[in-house]
Structure 1
Amino acid sequence: MYWDGEKHAYIPADGQSNTGNTDTESKDKKEKNKSKTELVQCLTQNDIQEGLSLLCKTGNGLAHAFIKLDLKKRLSNISAISNFIHIRFLDLSNNLLSDLSPLASLTQLLWLKADRNEIQSFRRQPFAQLTFLQWLNVAVNLLTDTGDLVGPSLETLNLIGNRIEKLSCLDGRFANLTTLELRGNQLETTEGIYLPNLHHLYMAQNVIKHLKGLENLERLQTLHLRENQIETLDGLNLNMRCLQYLNIRGNKVANENAIQSLQYVSKSLQILVLSENPVVESTEYRINIVMLLPNLERLDKDPVTSDERVEAKEKFKVYS
């Protein structure tokens, strides 16, 4: 094996001792900490060598290095990774990490999976140095805000299952972002997303009550808002001329007045999911929706039929 320009510094695992102390107190402490040292450890060179794969040419084309690294070791410290500067694909999921700063030297990183760790904030994290990073997964951590995150090359950002209550800094610093995953957080509004190039937005299983700020999402194609607390679709607007899929399943939309804003996306919307809302209990629910959305192809689980289109047109004439 050959790694170009990489130093392999060894960091011993927690709990390893060379003092030779054999007294009873020392043994008792070792026994008490045995299970912890088995589960929590610092990254070692052996861990890195076991996880390396995908041998590729380096930037100058004259040498080779492994560019993919998988580390699922219940790690609490990854300082030893900083010398492996050629890594482009890194999986750090299912560890105990709160500090990703050793990644600052991995400036060629394209793909980072750091879900199921203990990251509490983006402050003092290395993302400003990871200017080529395109795909980031920090799902199921302890994040409460999106502040201090930067990602000039990010195309996909996964923040599922955190504790985020507020969206901030999601603006021009993410000019290439097309997919944003925010399911399972604690958001009360859709406001705070200023991403005109965003195509897919997933915000299911929050506590969203109001649709706000959507006029900034001019290229949005998918909006997923299942299982929130939305009572009205006010907030949909004419700027959303690319929206094709809208899921409002399991909310509190109660009547026809609450769905009138659907007319603003009538030219583009192809699929609408409104099941598990009180409004679907109306006997003319489907016909009323088709009247508002003449180009709709599917409502809830079922395709819109030709008979429904005819009936909707006839009803529209009566009310015109």
Structure 2
Amino acid sequence: MEGQEDARYEEEAGEIDKYSTPKSSSIFEDTTRALTRAEAGECLHTLGKCDSGLGYAYLGLNASNKGLTDITVIPTFRYVLYVDVSGNRLTTEALRVLSSMKYLLMLQADRNQLSSAELDSMPYLQVLTLNRNKLKSTLGISHKLLECLELNHNNVEEVTLNPYDLENLKILELRGNILTTTNGIFFPALTRLYLAENQIEKVEGFEILVNLRILHLRSNKISSLDGFDSRCAKLSYLNLRDNEITKISELEKLNCLPALETLIILENPVTLDREVEEESAYRHIVLAMLPNLTRIDKDPVLYKERKHAKEFRKQMLRDGTTFADLDLNFFNVE
């Protein structure tokens, strides 16, 4: 049961890589492979009412993991709303044929050979996933109703998305790229942002993210927390695991986040190789800084910890001590 709870917690937090499935086979690497109409018919699923409301048609088409290089037949299935062509050998040009499907709601094209995300605007598209391709840029993504965009494990160096083209974007995933900053993410409707496994050194531009609730920055190079802003008033979950935070006082800068409840800071220099007693003291100090937390790392905050943190904060006030005074040896506390 405990293992299940941990797995569920990590999945909710974005800890588990949903796209760790093998890349498409290279057996047919030097050959072309077109999806035939007969094969496409076998890929159809999910029977539902068609747009006229007078009949039924298949609404989904899953042509994943077939080594395809040509999918020009797919748009002939005019009622299809959900397409999955992941795990093939599609280029950007090959994928563009789907732009003619003006009623498409979801397009999954993970694990292909896309070098660009530039597709003609699809007016009703709500979910677009292009994970594990060869993308170097976010240019050309302009789908007005898009709510979820996944570009994990590509080679994106900077975010150049136009907020006016993506004003409904709520979930953005850019894990496993080569970003060095959070700048360029200007989407007020965004509620979830996943930027783990990049090379981010600086947190900036968050003042526009007024609806952000979950922020995932695991495995970056962040040492300073200066970029957080009080206008992120809904941010409740923050993962800073495996960064380069060396000073415990940096965490005090997070008290500008009134809704913050869960903070993950494992595997930072400030938390490594601690004894049990030191671990307890570290949690008390973090709670003294951020009394609204309900979870630190993977453990919920206990009543006795909260009580101890409150007493510790009072003692600091009596002694005239600041959290910066604890940076050199913050475990020398009673």
Same fold by TM-score greater than 0.5: yes
1:96 CA drift (Å): 0.7
Alignment of 1:75-154 (within 5 A): 75-98=68-91, 99=93, 100-123=95-118, 125-126=119-120, 128=121, 130-154=122-146
Alignment of 1:248-287 (within 5 A): 248-265=240-257, 267-281=258-272, 283=278, 284-287=281-284
Alignment of 1:183-198 (within 5 A): 183-198=175-190
Question: In structure 2, the residue corresponding to 1:77 is in which secondary structure?
Answer: coil
Residues 54-63 or 210-219, more deviating: 54-63
Against the structure 1 CA distance between its residues 238 and 39, is the aligned structure 2 distance closer, same or farther, given a 3 Å change threshold?
Answer: same
Residues 266-320 of structure 1: CA distance to partner in whole angstroms, max 9, x if unpaired? x211111001111125733212210111110110121112222122212222333
Q: Which runs of 5+ in 1 are unaligned?
A: 1-34
Select 1:227's aligned residue among 219, 224, 228. 219
1:38 CA drift (Å): 9.4
Partner AA of 1:275 in structure 2 = L
Q: Quick check: 1:233–1:259 contact (8 Å CA) kept in 2?
A: yes
In the alignment, structure 1 residue 289 sits paired with structure 2 residue 286: yes
TM-score by length of 1: 0.84
Against the structure 1 CA distance between its residues 60 and 276, is the aligned structure 2 distance closer, same or farther, given a 3 Å change threshold?
Answer: same
Against the structure 1 CA distance between its residues 37 and 174, is the aligned structure 2 distance closer, same or farther, given a 3 Å change threshold?
Answer: closer
Partner AA of 2:150 in structure 1 = N
Name the CA distance, whole Å, in 2 between partners of 1:37 and 1:293.
Answer: 54
Partner AA of 2:157 in structure 1 = E
1:140 CA drift (Å): 0.4
Partner AA of 1:121 in structure 2 = S
Name the CA distance, whole Å, in 1 between partners of 2:237 and 2:137.
Answer: 27
Partner of 2:303 in structure 1? 306
1:197 CA drift (Å): 1.0
1:39 CA drift (Å): 6.3
Partner of 1:157 in structure 2? 149
Q: Quick check: 1:206–1:227 contact (8 Å CA) kept in 2?
A: yes
Question: In structure 2, the residue corresponding to 1:42 is in which secondary structure?
Answer: coil
Q: Which runs of 5+ in 2 are unaligned?
A: 1-26, 318-334
Partner AA of 2:313 in structure 1 = F
Name the CA distance, whole Å, in 2 between partners of 1:243 and 1:170.
Answer: 23
Residues 24-71 of structure 1: CA distance to partner in whole angstroms, max 9, x if unpaired? xxxxxxxxxxx6489640121122111112233322223332221111
Partner AA of 1:287 in structure 2 = H
Residues 206-249 of structure 1: CA distance to partner in whole angstroms, max 9, x if unpaired? 11111011111111110111111111111111111101111101
Question: In structure 1, the residue corresponding to 2:270 is in which secondary structure?
Answer: helix
Question: In structure 2, the residue corresponding to 1:53 is in which secondary structure?
Answer: strand
Name the CA distance, whole Å, in 2 between partners of 1:122 and 1:273.
Answer: 32
Root mean square deviation of aligned Cα? 1.7
Question: In structure 1, the residue corresponding to 2:39 is in which secondary structure?
Answer: helix
Between structure 1 and structure 2, the one with the greater Rg is: 1
Moved over 3 A (4+): 35-40, 281-284
Aligned length: 282
Q: Quick check: 1:172–1:194 contact (8 Å CA) kept in 2?
A: no
Against the structure 1 CA distance between its residues 61 and 307, is the aligned structure 2 distance closer, same or farther, given a 3 Å change threshold?
Answer: closer
